[in-house]
Chain A
Amino acid sequence: MFFQHLLNGIIVGGIYAMVALGYSMVYGVLQIVNWAHADVLMFATFIGLLLTTYLKMPVFAMVLLVALFASVLGMSVERVAYRPIKSGNRKMAVLVSALGMSTFLQNLAQLIFGSGTRQFKAIESKSFSFSGFTITNLQILILVVTSVMLLILYILVYRTKIGIAMRACSVSVDNAKLMGINTNLIISGTFGVGAFMAGVAGILIGVYYSAVYPTMGYLLGMKAFAAAILGGIGSIPGAVFGGFIIGTIESLGAGYISSAYRDAFAFFVMILILVVRPSGLMGAKHIDKV
């Protein structure tokens, strides 16, 4: 049973990792938490649901379209809710604006798509079992897609020019601007890449649980944020690592402690980490200078 829980945890953890990356990358560049990130994910998943049920689109084309839609939505969120804010107490203003954007998207989805839960069946489910160990083709697919996406992201961030510019922005936006980097474009791009990953993750989780609903982003986002904090917010390997750990803890906790409090484990881990080591497991220690 232990290995079964572990496997389930790792599979869900991979999805959390993909969502957590969006939080972590945006935080790395702008030092703000993009509260609307998970709601962008939810919106994109609904679009995917519509594409499959009404247009009967093939799965891969659908995933690609949804991810592109998500990145456009993510970039527009940045344009509308974050960039125009130039007030004195900017941190508080951005926080409130981000919350507002999240509330807006969530309730807009409720108005458009209805507040009920919808089934999402894109792929026929088959299960294989070896010696007391069950894995479905869906789970294998999720593992493969997650690994491929993480690999692509790794190449993008560490092996391309855009990646260098992104990392430069995360060290210091002002200095990056002095080096001739179009920082606005890079910030937009960071939101876009994060939302692209979130779009794919949304489809995966929607198909995995076969449930899409307007508030799905809320809990998923919180768990992914917990993962980002656990790994050290702003750090890309940290976010991936944190995602897998949160997924595993949640799965083991639900299996061995209490399944009713399944959603609470991520919060407990997050609170513990924030109290004991606020910079996370892999994050750089940040010292405020006076």
Chain B
Amino acid sequence: MNKVKDLLKTIKSIRFTKWQKMIFLIALIGLIVSAPYIITDNYILHIVILCSIYACLTLSLNMIIGWSGQFSLGHVCLYGMGAYITTLLMTQTGMNFFPATILSTAFTSGFAMLLCLPTLKLRGDYLAVITLGFGEVFRLFLTNSVSITRGPAGIPNIPDPVIFGYVISSKQAYFYFVALIVILFVVFMKRFNNSGFGMAMIVVNEDDIAATALGINVKKYKLLGFALGGGMAAFMGSFYAVYMGMISPTSFAYAESIKMVSMVVLGGIGSIPGSILGAVLLTALPEVLRAFSEYRMVIYGALMVVMMIFRPEGIWSRSSRMLNEYKIKAFENYKKK
């Protein structure tokens, strides 16, 4: 255990120069471009795409839990709302994927803010219960309003997205698409984390009374966290809908929310590499260990308990990373003297 901890510490303390970063970036792009040619098995490619979807979803949930410090158990409601609105716009009005996604993302962001508005005063558990309640009501709505959502049968035959006349339909094309989305999300989160908005949000998360004393509008940042997280989840929901080609209420059940929460917790609350790590581990491991796939949810549950007892900050934590950075800076200042 200690050896693993030391290894993680050394990995985290490595800092690259600009050139090294450039080379690393080019290698990454090369890897992404060549991946569909290396992975010829469609099933493995499917798993990779699923990992990417969950990585983005985990990032979006981490925006709510890790950055704005609100606990949401109804993330699946926002994710499902994005998926359903995009699907309905595409199948009912014949809209293309991109305008439909923009509309549904905007709508879901707004809805997430509305959901957050009455709960601003509430603390962890209450917020968790309310968001869970919204998720449940949403699922009931999906199952019962058959005239709109076709109920439990779901909506089949969702058309593929079209970019400049090119139809994205093969697994390879979807892979490139999702890779682009992951890169966009990571860059966005990275920029957000280092921006004034992100820093203010972290302060609000750490201590909202101190934040108020510093003149930070706490309400604004809490709403912003929910809106951004909800929008990102809705975007991924739209992608999921067109990728799968059909959606039904069972894809947006309570267990899915729990899955996302456990990914955030395993990876590290408030950490970008942690989110990706958690999502990939929890999506790929059950596929690799096929024999254990029926124990998956049991393992998720046990994992959450064990992580909270032994390593509550997750595998790749934010706090220790920041601490490292501070230490390095302090050390460099010391050397200059």
Contact = CB atoms under 8 A, between A and B. Distances in A.
Interface of A: 32-33, 80-81, 84-85, 87-89, 91-97, 99-108, 110-111, 218-219, 222, 225, 229, 260-261, 263-264, 267-268, 270-271, 274-275, 278, 290
A222 B302 contact: no
B7 interface: no
Given A96-B265, A100-B301, A103-B258, A85 B309 contact: yes
**Could you say which interface size class chain B belongs to?**
35 or more
Contact of A33 (B119, B125, B303): B125
B309 A111 contact: no
B133 interface: yes
B282 to A, nearest CB: 13
Contacts of A91: 123-125
B301 A275 contact: no
A99 B304 contact: yes
B130 interface: yes
Contacts of A88: 312
Give the residue among A88, A218, A271 with the most B Cβ atoms within 10 A.
A271
Contacts of A96: 261, 265, 304, 307-308
Given A104-B302, A111-B294, A264-B140, A97 B309 contact: yes
Nearest to B262: A100
Nearest to A215: B254
Contacts of B298: 103-104, 107-108, 111
Contacts of B269: 92
Contacts of A93: 308, 312
Nearest to A110: B297
5 contacts: A92-B269, A94-B308, A97-B305, A99-B258, A104-B301
Given A96-B304, A107-B301, 9 more contacts: A85-B309, A100-B300, A110-B297, A111-B294, A222-B136, A264-B136, A268-B137, A270-B129, A270-B133
Contacts of A33: 125, 128-129
Nearest to B144: A260
A95 B124 contact: yes
Secondary structure at chain A's binding surface: helix, strand, loop or mixed? Answer: helix
B211 to A, nearest CB: 12
A100 B130 contact: no
Contacts of B73: 99
A105 B304 CA distance: 12
B243 to A, nearest CB: 26
B129 A97 contact: no
Contacts of A229: 126, 129
Contact of A32 (B118, B125, B297, B301): B125
B246 to A, nearest CB: 23
B132 A278 contact: no
B188 interface: no
A32 B262 CA distance: 19
Contact of B71 (A92, A218, A270): A92
A265 to B, nearest CB: 10
A222 B129 contact: yes
Given A91-B123, A111-B294, A271-B118, A100 B308 contact: yes
